[in-house]
Structure 1
Amino acid sequence: MAQFYSAKRRVTTRQIITVDVTDLDPFGQGVARHHGKALFVPGLLPTERADVTVTEDKRQFARGQVKRRYNDSADRVAPRCPHFGVCGGCQQQHASVALQQRSKSAALARLLRHEVNEIIAGEPWGYRRRARLSLNYQPKSGLLEMGFRQAGANDIVNVRACPILAPQLEALLLPLRECLSQLQGAGALGHVELVLADNGPLMVLRHTAPLTRDDREKLERFSHSHHLALFLAPQSEILEQVSGEAPWYTSDGLRLTFSPRDFIQVNDGVNQQMVATAIAWLNVQPEDRVLDLFCGMGNFTLPLAKSAQSVVGVEGVEALVDKGRENARQNGLENITFFHENLEEDVTRQPWAKQGFDKILLDPARAGAPGVMKHIIKLAPARVVYVSCNPATLARDSEALLAAGYQIQRLAMLDMFPHTGHLESMVLFEQI
């Protein structure tokens, strides 16, 4: 029952209701029903009952805050991170991994109107091989803040631990902050990126004023003592390698060299499984001609070339195309052709579009691939694998294939970012 409280001399009304949570949304909010609409409550899990203060009541939904929880879900676990609930990086550490995966799979199945056939997952902790930490020097206190943005705010949370980071990167957090705090130019630091390549960790430091010789020496000593490659970024478009080797990672046993700023999949364990599954789903044969759209530096392209007669990779970022060509050369793959083309423009005028293909893979950004769906249908491949980081645009783009006579044969939820609201997936379409 609703209860109303009015403070003396103030026209404030608070509505408190008792709810039973039935679902978990991607942002770690429990979902209940209130007046026939969804009520989102942070911190609650399915099967839990609680008294909730309604803080926002819209026409389509409502939001609330927990006043009292009556029971604990069997899927409630203790968050590992000391910053959980304050840091905006994770939303679901209070929920078991099994519940997270069930909730994401159910959301994906609803959007695609197809059951999730498999979940591709790796280690739920220590999986993240890349992180960008904000830096902010406080002149009055002389302290340097280093960490991630606070949930729902722009403030920096000084992180001393981050259990989703790869252990080699997490171990750098405290000594790195100490090193940066001692620099004379600490007030001119923008952010620091940490990346774990297969040949070791690296650091990219963004600074907005020239570093003194003493500061450079301190940074170099730090990089040597912690066995990491050091890159400096005096401007957003400039990258200076100070120490260490060029980074590389493996995809299906092939070595891909990359720049510290190039996009690579953050979760190496899931990436390896994802590439292998995509190749298996496409059922690539020695006579097949395969098209890889939004191919980046060749994460899928190079492994596909090991099995196919020929592969064409198309990418809109010229630097990634150059990296793809170099990676193909270094791995002795001569059956790959890369094109630098904007796939958001008229693709029918692009040179790759006039070729024929038996199989197609696409891995677009969050905006999806509306500009190429009609042409994919025109090319009439036997199979299409769509890798998605946004289920909404995947559902939209899927409608074009379904309307053209393709059917979903396999649907996988990729647990690329455990404990967060990110939902990634992969779909196999086949011409029937």
Structure 2
Amino acid sequence: MCQGELFFALWDLGISWKQLPKEMRSESEGHKNRPKKQIRKISSNKILLKPRSWINLGYAIANFEEVTFFLKNAIPGETVYTVPLKKSGSLLWGVVFEIEVISPERIPSDCSSFPRCGGCSYRHVSYQNELKIKKFLLQETLERFLSKNHIQIPEIEVLSGNPNGYRNTTQIQLGFTGGKRLAGFYEEFSHSIVNLPEDGCKNLPEEMNSVLADLLKKEKTESAFVSESKILSLRLEGTKVVPYKKESVTFREKIFIPEPKEIVWEIQAGGFAQVNRYLVAPWLEKIFELVPENQDRILELYCGSGLIAIALQSKTKNWIGYELSLNSVKQAKKNAQRNGVYSYDFKTLNLETNWIDSEEALCSSFWIMNPPRAGLSKKVLQTLIEKSPNGFLYSSCNHTTLARDLSLILNGNYRLSNVTLVDFFPRTKHFEIIVKVERI
């Protein structure tokens, strides 16, 4: 494994090059005295490890001689056994199956499929501990990227809700083995299917688990719910379960910004919506709180179907949103009109490959950005730095690329005024972040 490949393998885990054991750095750099011991000699053996700290993606990190392990179902300070399940150069991944010294923080899992199932990462700790871990990982990542800029990081706020039954969409993998139907999620580090527990998935609402149970009792699963790739795709609309890619869905959400009201928006079949049904309103209310009043114009990049725009309609009379998907842009225009907003403009643009050519949009006093996991494109970053708006909100589902982008944007003219961790994905390795940046 070359040094570049190793660097990118570590990137997602939030590990710096210097955190690796010296022997690993030497091996990857082509050092003449690299260890003679080959990883394949230990790959089938039961290995005793002592995890030392949490890292990104729900793992704890441990070392075995010259090898670094990333462990699922481990807690720092424990002594555990694992068998390597995935290898990349001198990096190994494994799932803990036996514990010799147990942490007082460990709790019995409430799911019989954990830790084999690849869906959840934290069912061996309490939800409050999970939130502390995620907050620690976010803090550490921001400090690692922003320390060179001498940027002061404000106290991280945490927005969370009910950790059970929160998902309004799901995609269940279907298969057969020995004449028996399988339905569930992929196993960790594998494409083998782990069956759903008899009492259903803890992350899914009761309505969805009930539909799943009924469908799977039938000899042939109803085709309306199943794709050609044998994936059972469901979406919750109120209390009704509908096919994810077959029907558009209408959502109604009561929000309190600035006074109680109901907003209504539609998502096209297969379109994106926040998956946590409990946190949509609190998330919108937090965004409303952070965006300044009486803006001449707000520019939103990666605007989706216009949900943020219609929720923040009292902030400005002029809103320009850009989004790659033509269907989402059409939906955003309909959603705005459905909620009595007629002056907002939504446009189709590939922000990865194209420049924003509207000077009117670029002169907006405040920007809102909600990019995919890869972060802001180079063109958006360059434009943001050149135009230097009064402030902006950056909502991200990847705190590593968020921190990277902030390290390129923040300078003596800006300050980081708010960081909020939004736990849209309880019990999993994922979370979202909102940051507010203001010009000094």
TM-score (normalised: structure 2): 0.77
Partner residue in 2 for 1:147: 184
Contact 1:41–1:63 (8 Å) recurs in 2 = yes
Q: Which has the higher strand share?
A: 1
The 5 Å alignment of 1:9-408 reads 19-34=49-64, 38-50=68-80, 61=91, 69-113=99-143, 114=153, 116-136=155-175, 141=179, 143-159=180-196, 160=198, 161-179=200-218, 181=220, 190-198=230-238, 200-204=240-244, 239=246, 246-250=249-253, 252=255, 253-283=262-292, 285-348=293-356, 350-351=357-358, 354-370=361-377, 371-403=379-411, 405-408=413-416
Q: Distance in 2 between matches of 1:248 and 1:395?
A: 32
Q: Distance in 2 between matches of 1:66 and 1:199?
A: 38
SS of 1:70's equivalent in the other structure is strand
Q: Distance in 2 between matches of 1:325 and 1:362?
A: 18
The one-letter code matched in structure 2 to 1:405 is: N
Q: CA RMSD, aligned part only? A: 3.2
Amino-acid identity (%): 23
Q: Could you tell me which runs of 5 or more consecutive residues in structure 1 were left unpaired when the two chains were aligned.
A: 1-10, 205-232, 234-238
The one-letter code matched in structure 2 to 1:112 is: L
Contact 2:252–2:264 (8 Å) recurs in 1 = yes
Q: CA deviation at 1:29?
A: 3.0
Which protein shows a greater Rg? 1
Contact 1:121–1:270 (8 Å) recurs in 2 = yes
Q: Which moved more, 1:144-153 or 1:118-127?
A: 144-153
Structure 1 150/55 Cα, relative in aligned 2: closer, same or farther at 3 Å? closer
Q: Distance in 1 between matches of 2:141 and 2:228?
A: 46
Structure 1 86/374 Cα, relative in aligned 2: closer, same or farther at 3 Å? same
Structure 1 63/129 Cα, relative in aligned 2: closer, same or farther at 3 Å? closer
Q: Which moved more, 1:166-175 or 1:251-260?
A: 251-260
The one-letter code matched in structure 1 to 2:156 is: N
Kindly provide the CA deviation profile for residues 111-141 of structure 1, in whole angstroms up to 9, marking residues without a partner as x: 2123552111111111111001123356x72
Q: How many residues align?
A: 381
Structure 1 167/289 Cα, relative in aligned 2: closer, same or farther at 3 Å? same
Contact 1:90–1:419 (8 Å) recurs in 2 = yes
Q: CA deviation at 1:360?
A: 0.8
Q: Which moved more, 1:383-392 or 1:285-294?
A: 285-294
Contact 1:251–1:275 (8 Å) recurs in 2 = no
Kindly provide the CA deviation profile for residues 332-365 of structure 1, in whole angstroms up to 9, marking residues without a partner as x: 11231111111112314x2366552111110011
Q: Distance in 1 between matches of 2:71 and 2:369?
A: 36
Partner residue in 2 for 1:426: 434
Q: Distance in 2 between matches of 1:184 and 1:343?
A: 36
Contact 1:199–1:247 (8 Å) recurs in 2 = no
Q: CA deviation at 1:52?
A: 6.1
SS of 1:98's equivalent in the other structure is helix
Q: Distance in 2 between matches of 1:347 and 1:353?
A: 13
Q: CA deviation at 1:408?
A: 1.2
SS of 2:184's equivalent in the other structure is strand
Partner residue in 2 for 1:224: none
Q: Distance in 1 between matches of 2:170 and 2:207?
A: 12
Q: Distance in 1 between matches of 2:68 and 2:190?
A: 25
Kindly provide the CA deviation profile for residues 75-115 of structure 1, in whole angstroms up to 9, marking residues without a partner as x: 21222222222222112211211222122211111221235
Q: Distance in 1 between matches of 2:374 and 2:87?
A: 30
Q: CA deviation at 1:286?
A: 2.8
Q: Distance in 1 between matches of 2:182 and 2:398?
A: 32
Kindly provide the CA deviation profile for residues 255-297 of structure 1, in whole angstroms up to 9, marking residues without a partner as x: 00112311000012222222211121122x2343111110000
Q: CA deviation at 1:325?
A: 0.2
TM-score (normalised: structure 1): 0.78
Q: CA deviation at 1:308?
A: 1.5
Q: Distance in 1 between matches of 2:228 and 2:353?
A: 40
